[in-house]
Amino acid sequence: MNIDEYMSYDATGLAQLVADKQVTPAELLDLARRRLAEVNPKLNAVVIETADAADRQVAGELTGPFAGVPFLLKDLAQEYRGYPTTSGCRALRNLPEPRNALVTDRFLAAGLVVVGKTNTPELGAKGVTEPDLWGPARNPWDTSRTPGGSSGGSAAAVAAGVVPAAGANDGGGSIRIPAATTGLVGLKPSRGLAPYGPQTGEPMFGMAVQGVVARTVRDSAGLMDAIVGPNPLADYQAAMPAQRFVEAVGSRPGKLRIAFSAHSAISGAPTAEAAAAMTEAAAVLTELGHEVTEIAPPYDDKALAQTFLTLWFAQLAGQVDEICERTGAGNDDFEADTLAMVELGRSGGTVKALRALGEINGYTQAMGRFYESYDYFMTPTIAQAPIEVGALTTAAPVKVGARVAHRLHGGRLLLASGVVDQMIEENLGWVPYTQMANLTGRPAISVPIHWTADGLPLGVQFNGPLGSDGALLQLAAQLEEARPWIGRFPARP
């Protein structure tokens, strides 16, 4: 098998070749490494290689539905014993993990061979992957553009053909945004299905979930089957799916009622490309026999962004405090932007965070009423084509000011300065559609239906009611069949 043949298969297909003894896990590992060596100097997608562990895996007996298939873990909340989980942060770069995360154990039990760990923004705190520690990840469709965040390294590696799928997680769009920018499938599952721990309980007040980015719907389904399951150490047990996801994608949905909108109170009227993505997706859905209706958004995304960021800042402040206590890290071990967000979290106080938690119920109720009339809510996943690397970089004087504000506990001054509104406009303005699913715990999926006139992916997102993960994958499989995307690869960077 050569690299072009290797890249033509998804994970399910490669696993079948291994099972049929047409190729060995060692051969696949060699191909993944060769492809990584070819593209990573340009993409900076993989920041830690796990060579010794991968060699041990292929030398042993591999079992499971994806036995022998090369795979990457995200270097955030997917801990791998013996290797650091840096989370893109200097303070964590030299701390090997004593044990695996539960989700990592489940990836390994599925027979996946871990080749390395992927680039992520510091503590997953941005929608672009440009940490000071590792430098920016780049999009293989156009290396001047971002692959999004926070699972940007995973998405870049999969889109470039290093591996057919990779680990990801999503606290505000971190699976769906990178999938949308790189032409992949990205399912953010319902809250409680995919396991966290044992290192932590559910992060971000339950908003963050584990998952993958993949090139095909059947891979997304099969890999979710591999990690979804009861966790006796969890705080609660979500209802498990009645049917395996790979079985769900084997059939097609009946006629669906799908409402859509590309309008955003943050971004205003949709960009031409976001509008084109909706027009194209609506046409395909109509061809497939579904009822498609344009509506006004069922919630105020600007108000939702305020709620989301209040909780984000609060949890980040606690996370940084914990890292400092555990490692002895100081301010210089964190990025200036992170320290500014920490100070905003501290200055908001407990009451503001608790009030924001209470506000989630309003969005949940609004979406509950929406689902009484419609099956899914469709939006663009991102509001414009993938932005350029460095477009959101904070100016040097502002970084100095952020460090001073943190040192002087000047968060109230930051709040009064209007910096939060500025962060919403700049950082969420190009990704205003993804946070709702995290706040309400509902599933959402991004699928690569649309490419811009310049040949860049711009994904389309479907939000579903609680527990509709399998049905979302089923719809995605129907769209994949109608508009196949697996054969689309960027030119070799």
Amino acid at 380: P
Identify the pLDDT of residue 398: 76
Whether residue 286 sits in one domain with residue 178: no
Which stretch of DSSP H or E encloses residue 13? helix 11-19
User: Do residue 133 and residue 272 come from a single domain?
Assistant: no
In the set 74, 117, 126, 188, the catalytic residue is 74
Return d(Cα 338, Cα 87) in angstroms, integer: 12
* pLDDT over 80 at 411, yes or no: no
- Distance (Å, whole) CA 16 – CA 10: 10
Looking at the structure, do residues 383 and 285 belong to the same domain, yes or no?
yes
- pLDDT value at 493 more than 70: no
Check whether residue 248 and residue 269 sit in a common domain. no
Tell me which residue of 488, 374, 370, 444 sits closest to 209, measured CA to CA: 444
Indicate which CATH number applies to the domain containing 210.
3.90.1300.10
The per-residue pLDDT for 442 is 98
477 occurs within a structural domain: yes
Mean pLDDT of 36-45: 98
Average pLDDT of span 70-78? 98
Sheet holding 376-380, edge to edge: 46-49, 113-118, 70-74, 165-170, 209-214, 185-188, 444-451, 457-463, 376-380, 257-260, 291-294
**What does the radius of gyration of the chain's CA atoms come to, in whole angstroms?**
21
Confidence of residue 373 (pLDDT cuts 50, 70, 90): very high
Nearest to 31 by CA among 214, 162, 157, 156: 162
Give the per-residue pLDDT at 404.
78
Judge whether 406 lies within some domain. Answer: yes
pLDDT for 94-119, tens place per residue? 999 999 999 999 999 999 999 999 99
Q: Indicate the burial class of 468 (C-beta count within 10 angstroms; 0-12, 13-18, 19 or more).
A: buried
Return d(Cα 431, Cα 279) in angstroms, integer: 19
pLDDT in tens, 206-254: 999 999 999 999 999 999 999 999 998 888 889 999 999 999 999 999 9
Residues in the chain: 493
395 pLDDT higher than 90 = no
Say whether pLDDT at 152 is over 80: yes
Same domain, 313 and 384: yes
pLDDT for the residue 460: 98
**pLDDT of 412 strictly over 90:** no
Whether 364 and 395 map to the same domain: the answer is yes
Confidence of residue 268 (pLDDT cuts 50, 70, 90): confident
Mean pLDDT for 52-61 is: 97
- What range defines the domain where residue 201 resides? 3-252+445-482
Which tokens go with 182? Answer: 């790189």
Q: What is the pLDDT of residue 276?
A: 96
Q: Is the confidence at residue 401, as pLDDT, over 90?
A: no
Boundary residue ending a domain (427, 455, 470): 427
Residue 257 has which token pair? 């009622």
Number of domain units in the chain: 2
- Contact partners, residue 127, CB within 8 Å, separation at least 6: 148, 149, 150, 172, 173, 174, 177, 427, 428, 430, 431
- Whether residue 493 is contained in a domain is answered as no
Mean pLDDT lowest among 110-119, 272-281, 404-413, 471-480: 404-413
| pLDDT (0 to 100) of residue 269 | 79
Count of C-beta atoms within a 10 Å radius of residue 144: 11
Closest of 27, 22, 16, 137 to residue 76, by C-alpha:
137
Establish if 335 belongs to a structural domain. yes
Q: Is residue 492 part of a domain?
A: no
Q: Which of 117, 126, 150, 267 is catalytic?
A: 150
Of the listed ranges 75-79, 300-304, 345-349, 473-477, the one predicted with least confidence: 345-349
201 with 226, same domain? yes
Whole-model pTM: value is 0.97
Does any domain span residue 489? no
Give the highest mean pLDDT range of 66-80, 255-269, 346-360: 66-80
Of 132-141, 146-155, 353-362, 483-492, the poorest mean pLDDT is in: 483-492
User: What's the pLDDT score for residue 416?
Assistant: 63
Q: Is 150 considered catalytic here?
A: yes
Q: What is the mean pLDDT of the chain?
A: 95
Same domain, 10 and 137: yes
Catalytic status, residue 302: no
**156-190 confidence digits (pLDDT tens):** 999 999 999 999 999 999 999 999 999 999 999 99
**What are the residues whose beta carbons fall under 8 Å from the beta carbon of 309, sequence distance 6 or more?**
420, 423, 424, 428
DSSP secondary structure code for residue 78 in this structure: -
Q: Which segments within 215-373 are labelled E, that is strand?
A: 257-260, 291-294
Q: Is the pLDDT of residue 293 over 70?
A: yes
The answer on 305 and 236 residing in a single domain is no
Check the CA dihedral 7-170-193-255 and report its sign: negative
Residues 185 and 308 in one domain: no
**Which of the two residues, 487 and 13, has the higher pLDDT score?**
13
**Residue 415: is its pLDDT beyond 80?**
no
* Residue in the structure block whose two tokens are 């992949």: 184
Q: Is residue 488 part of a domain?
A: no
Active site residue 151: no
Model confidence at 308: pLDDT above 80 = yes
438 part of a folded domain: no
What's the mean pLDDT in 11-39?
Answer: 98
Catalytic residue among 87, 151, 154, 174: 174
Domain co-membership, 272 together with 245: no
- Please check whether residues 53 and 165 belong to one and the same domain: yes
